[in-house]
Amino acid sequence: MVTTRMLERKIKHPYVTRKKGVRGGKPIVQGTRIKVAQIAIEYERMGWTPDEIVQAHPHLTLPQVHDALSYYYSHLDEINADIRASDRVVEAIRKQHPRSVLEDKRVHAFE
C-alpha cells in the first residue's frame, strides 16, 4: 500500500525550495520570495487561475506556479497550518487596530 508520506518522498519539486532566513524557512518558489502558501491562497481562496497568478507576479513562470500548487497539494496539512497561522496574526492585528492609518487619514482629509 502506498501512503501519502511515501508519495511525498518520491515527488520532486524543482521550483520549490526552503531557505533558512527567507520567509521563515517556509516553502517558496525558487529564486523568489513568493511563498507556496501565497500561491495556494490566490488559487484556492481568490479563485485565480495559474495564468492570472503569473499575471499578478510577472517574475513567475507557469511551470513555477504549477509546481507550487503541486507542492501545496502534496503538503496540504503543512501549508494549510501556515495559512491558518498567518490568518491568526492578521486577525490579532485587526483587533488591536480596528481602523487602518489610511482610513483615519481619509476621514480627517474630509473634515
Give the integer Cα–Cα distance in Å for 107 and 109: 5
Which residue is it, cell 494549510?
A: 80
DSSP state of 17: E
Give the integer Cα–Cα distance in Å for 65 and 36: 9
Q: How many Cα neighbours within 13 Å face the side chain of 12? A: 1
Give the integer Cα–Cα distance in Å for 5 and 7: 5
The structural domains of the chain, with segments of one domain joined by +, span 4-109
Mean pLDDT over all residues of the chain?
A: 88
Q: Residue 83 above 70 pLDDT?
A: yes
pLDDT tens, residue by residue, 33-49? 999 999 999 999 999 99
DSSP state of 1: -
Q: 4-109: which CATH architecture?
A: Orthogonal Bundle (1.10)
